[in-house]
Amino acid sequence: MKITLMNERSFILGYTMHNKYELILRAAEKIIAAGGIQGLSMQLVATEAGVAAGTIYRYFKDKDQLILELRKDVLSQVASAILEDHQIGTIEQRFKRIWMKMYNYGKQPSPANLSYEQYANLPVINTQEIRQLEMQLFAPLQQLFEQGKAQGLIQPLHPRMLYALAMEPAMTMARTCRRGLIDYQPKDITFACDLCWRAILSPNTTTATI
């Protein structure tokens, strides 16, 4: 009985701590999305999250660490959303599915997307730790590129170059759509996706052989 009670308390304590951690992240995300990175303060985060100001410092050393952890969280969300069924189909089908999911995810005016623009390029965020996390989370995309290169379908370029050529346009188009600068038609998005795929194909590759 005593062991059972201890396990129950440990579970409740762990859940409560995780819940507060999530509340703090979501609060920071919402504040940045609404007022920009300059509007973020630990006191505002505490108020938005409904926790005591001192509670935040149990999870995050300072504002920089909070922003760093927020970026990690968003990267995990993106990877989970766009790579859920990355292994299904041919290389072309897998590439285009990921591309379309990246576009559809990025065009949503969610707090995650709106806040990410504010802090993604801060020097404190672009660390070796973040780069390693990106490689880990998006490893399936790199594997897709490597498989395509091994089969002679894709240009023998560095994965980051392939990403810049083929995937970043999806995020750029999603951002312009999210900001209301242009309303793309579905056929335009499909055409853009196909262009990005063709941009990294080996010169000797034809669509009939993919």
Q: What digits encode the pLDDT tens for the residues 62-71?
A: 998 998 899 8
- Give the distance from CA 61 to its chain's centroid: 23
pLDDT greater than 50 at residue 150: yes
Residue 209: pLDDT band by 50, 70, 90 thresholds?
Answer: very low
pLDDT of residue 206: 57
3-state secondary structure of 38: helix
Burial tier of 11 (Cβ tally within 10 Å: 0-12, 13-18, 19+):
exposed
- Tell me the C-alpha distance between 98 and 191, whole Å: 15
Q: For the whole prediction, is pTM greater than 0.85?
A: no
What does DSSP assign to residue 154? Answer: B
Average pLDDT over every residue of 110-132: 77
pLDDT greater than 80 at residue 208: no
Average pLDDT over every residue of 122-149: 86
Q: How far apart are the first and last CA of the chain?
A: 62
User: Tokens 């300072």 map to which residue?
Assistant: 62
Average pLDDT over every residue of 113-127: 73
Instruction: Give the tens place of pLDDT for each residue, 31-59.
Output: 988 888 888 899 999 999 999 989 999 99
pLDDT of residue 11: 35
pLDDT of residue 123: 66
User: Tokens 């941009």 map to which residue?
Assistant: 199
**Structural tokens at position 166:** 């083929």
Residue 12: pLDDT band by 50, 70, 90 thresholds?
Answer: very low
pLDDT greater than 80 at residue 107: yes
- Tell me the C-alpha distance between 180 and 125, whole Å: 27
Cβ atoms 154, 200 nearer than 8 A: yes
- Tell me the C-alpha distance between 174 and 113, whole Å: 10
3-state secondary structure of 95: helix
Q: What domains can be seen in the chain, in order of their start residue?
A: 1-60 (1.10.10.60), 73-209 (1.10.357.10)
Average pLDDT over every residue of 127-150: 91
Measuring CA to CA, which residue among 79, 86, 93 is closest to residue 137? Answer: 79
- Tell me the C-alpha distance between 73 and 68, whole Å: 9
pLDDT of residue 13: 38
Average pLDDT over every residue of 156-160: 93
pLDDT of residue 9: 40
Rg (alpha carbons) of the chain, rounded to whole number: 21
Cβ atoms 128, 136 nearer than 8 A: no
Residue 30: pLDDT band by 50, 70, 90 thresholds?
Answer: very high
For 50, 89, 137, 191, the CA distances from 77, given in Å and listed in that order, are 23, 23, 10, 27
